[in-house]
């Protein structure tokens, strides 16, 4: 056994880093670059701590007396926190250039960034609904401010405002659901709710089911599924690129991290109630998301819309959970990794280009991009291929597992719909590749030299994506997809440890 502190040390590191940066921010000597490196230092320390017992199955309540068993440290939370930390680290590494070039960013931004990361990590560690709410609010409140940080731009403010208003309503729904659950079961701890369900007949849990419905509404809102997806495109479009990347890749993973724990621990009974609703939600999410993605002219909006489609894929695996729990849950976890890598790469590349080059927004602006910047165009193509799920990228493997899980659980129709949505997605992803490669550049102006480290990190992400697609067949012993998948299964198992 390790000392309790080691289990919560990553959380403490990230939270402490946020407070330290806040205290340092009045000093003019601290440049944005220095603040970014301080933030990176704390995040890397936290990531390192998650590797101390990586291959061992554990589930432990650190400081059970003090925290009242409201926080758990298990393989599951470690896996998700590592995803979140990796996402945050890449966001900072790629975004430093953007933050330096654009007006309005100060060192406080990084403090908020760490607070938001702290909230997300707490979200995947939490086993109690009020703790979940507080974690969710820490993460969201910091995000609202981060979105509106460049306050001289109307667009940012508007996006921030919208997200704030809608987010607080969804938070209220979450609370209402929690109140119902509390009224019914006299507890808000997830594991005890499960025990209550097992010990009581169906007729006694009606209020509980209502409560769970409200919590699901919040969940569907936060991941931008069908009836509640309208905010996503505007907010993603209005936010600065690095923040968009952070929201799309990382925040979504954190939300799924919570809801999977909530459902998997023992609410499988309640999923039955949701099956039919979720079925329709998935179909409409895929359909409407694809439609929205097709009609966009701006690349950022297209990526935002396509994130709705990806939510649809994730929900396909989510609905399969009650039948093939293990493979469906681990496929969700794996897909989150794949999607976060691809979207982080795509948004990161766009952010780098838009901070350094002339502003490129729409598809047309990328006309002949490959002739000006061959390497960047190649990387962009890798991200597009991975998002579309073409074999030899990690995106393909992620989709493969999801559809396998769906077919195994008997949701063949949903899998077919998912595959059709993938076909459609090839249209809007490949359109960019075609425009970059097969059209002459409108004007071959002088090419500004590359600088900063962002291109290298974007390159690393694209290599990881390709490695994820083909790696394991080449060198067996180097960690690749199988390693990620094994870890995801282990994370699932750790939820079952009583």
Partner 1 sequence: MIGLAHYLVLSGILFSIGLFGVMKRKNLLMLFFSTEILLNAVNIGFVAVGRFYGDMSGQIFAFFIIAVAASEVAVGLGLIVLWYKRTGSIDLDSLQMMKG
Query: Helices 154-185 and 230-238 meet at what angle, rounded to 10?
Result: 140
Running DSSP on this structure, what letter comes out for residue 60? Answer: E
For 25, the token pair is: 């921010």
Q: Does 308 bind partner 1 (CB under 8 A)?
A: no
Secondary structure (3-state) at 330: helix
Q: Where are the alpha helices (DSSP H) in 153-189?
A: 154-185
Instruction: Report the nearest approach of partner 1 to the CB of residue 126 (Å).
Output: 13
By C-beta, is 237 or 365 nearer to partner 1?
Answer: 237
What string marks each residue from 236 to 255 as x (binds partner 1 by CB under 8 A) or -? -xx-----------------
By C-beta, is 175 or 269 nearer to partner 1?
Answer: 175
Residue of the chain from 52, 54, 151, 391 that contacts partner 1 (CB under 8 A): 151
Secondary structure (3-state) at 128: strand
By C-beta, is 62 or 171 nearer to partner 1?
Answer: 171
How many C-beta atoms lie closer than 10 Å to residue 145's C-beta?
17
Name the percent of the chain in helix, strand, coil, to the closest 5. Answer: 80, 0, 20
What string marks each residue from 181 to 220 as x (binds partner 1 by CB under 8 A) or -? -xx--x-x--------------------------------
Site for partner 1 in 27-56 (CB under 8 A): none
Q: Does 463 bind partner 1 (CB under 8 A)?
A: no
Burial of 108 (0-12, 13-18, 19+ CB in 10 A): middle
Residue of the chain from 100, 137, 408, 493 that contacts partner 1 (CB under 8 A): 137
Residues 6+ apart with CB under 8 A from 284: 226, 227
What string marks each residue from 420 to 449 as x (binds partner 1 by CB under 8 A) or -? ------------------------------
CA distance 91 to 244: 10
Residue of the chain from 43, 164, 380, 397 that contacts partner 1 (CB under 8 A): 164
Separation in Å, CA 161 to CA 106, 173, 206, 280: 20, 19, 36, 30
Residue of the chain from 24, 157, 269, 323 that contacts partner 1 (CB under 8 A): 157
Single out the segment in contact with partner 1 by CB under 8 A; choices: 99-107, 142-150, 391-399, 472-480. Answer: 142-150
Instruction: Report the nearest approach of partner 1 to the CB of residue 59 (Å).
Output: 23
Instruction: Report the nearest approach of partner 1 to the CB of residue 147 (Å).
Output: 10
Separation in Å, CA 253 to CA 156, 295, 468: 23, 27, 19
Instruction: Report the nearest approach of partner 1 to the CB of residue 431 (Å).
Output: 17
Running DSSP on this structure, what letter comes out for residue 365? Answer: G
Q: Does 234 bind partner 1 (CB under 8 A)?
A: yes
CA distance 183 to 180: 5
The size of the interface with partner 1 (CB under 8 A), counted in residues, is 39
| Residues forming the site for partner 1 (CB under 8 A) | 130, 133-134, 137, 141, 144-145, 148, 151, 154-155, 157-162, 164-165, 168-169, 171-172, 175-176, 178-179, 182-183, 186, 188, 233-234, 237-238, 292, 295-296, 301
């Amino acid at each position: 056994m390790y000392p309790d502190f080691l289990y919560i040390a990553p959380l403490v590191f990230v939270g402490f880093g946020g407070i330290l940066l806040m205290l340092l921010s009045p000093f003019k000597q601290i440049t944005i670059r220095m603040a970014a490196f301080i933030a990176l230092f704390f995040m890397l320390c936290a990531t390192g701590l998650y590797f101390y017992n990586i291959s061992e199955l554990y589930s432990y309540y650190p400081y059970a007396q003090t925290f009242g068993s409201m926080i758990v440290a298990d393989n599951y939370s470690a896996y998700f926190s590592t995803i979140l930390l990796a996402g945050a680290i890449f966001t900072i590494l790629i975004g430093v250039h953007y933050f330096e070039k654009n007006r309005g960013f100060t060192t406080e931004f990084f403090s908020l960034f760490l607070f938001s990361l702290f909230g997300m990590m707490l979200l995947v560690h939490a086993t109690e609904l009020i703790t979940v709410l507080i974690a969710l609010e820490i993460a969201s409140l910091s995000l609202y401010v981060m979105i509106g940080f460049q306050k001289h731009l109307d667009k940012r403010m508007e996006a921030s405002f919208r997200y704030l208003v809608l987010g607080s309503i969804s938070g209220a729904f979450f609370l209402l659901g929690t109140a119902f659950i509390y009224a019914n079961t006299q507890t808000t701890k997830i594991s005890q709710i499960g025990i209550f369900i097992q010990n009581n007949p169906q007729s006694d849990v009606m209020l509980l089911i209502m409560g769970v419905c409200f919590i699901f509404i919040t969940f569907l809102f936060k991941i931008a599924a069908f009836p509640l997806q309208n905010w996503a495109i505007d907010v993603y479009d209005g936010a600065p690129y690095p923040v968009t990347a952070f929201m799309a890749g990382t925040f979504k993973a954190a939300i799924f991290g919570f809801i999977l724990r909530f459902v998997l621990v023992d609410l499988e009974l309640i999923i039955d109630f949701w099956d039919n609703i979720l079925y329709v939600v998935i179909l409409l999410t895929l359909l409407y998301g694809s439609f929205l993605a097709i009609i966009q002219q701006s690349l950022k909006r297209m990526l935002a819309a396509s994130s709705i489609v990806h939510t649809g894929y994730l929900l396909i695996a989510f609905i399969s959970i009650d039948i093939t729990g293990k493979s469906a849950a681990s496929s969700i976890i794996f897909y989150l990794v794949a999607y976060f890598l691809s979207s982080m790469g795509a948004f990161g590349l766009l952010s780098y280009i838009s901070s350094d080059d002339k502003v490129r927004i729409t598809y047309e602006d990328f006309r002949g991009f490959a002739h000006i910047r061959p390497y960047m165009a190649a990387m962009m193509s890798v991200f597009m291929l991975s998002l579309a799920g073409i074999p030899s990228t990690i995106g393909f493997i992620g989709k493969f597992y999801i559809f396998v899980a769906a077919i195994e659980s008997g949701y063949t129709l949903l899998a077919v719909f998912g595959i059709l949505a993938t076909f459609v997605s090839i249209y809007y992803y490949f359109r960019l590749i075609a425009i970059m490669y097969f059209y002459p550049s409108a004007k071959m102006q002088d090419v500004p030299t590359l600088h900063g480290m962002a291109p290298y990190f974007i390159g690393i992400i694209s290599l990881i994506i390709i490695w994820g697609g083909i790696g394991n067949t080449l060198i067996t012993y180097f960690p690749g997809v199988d390693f990620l998948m094994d870890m995801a299964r282990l994370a699932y198992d750790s939820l079952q440890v009583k």
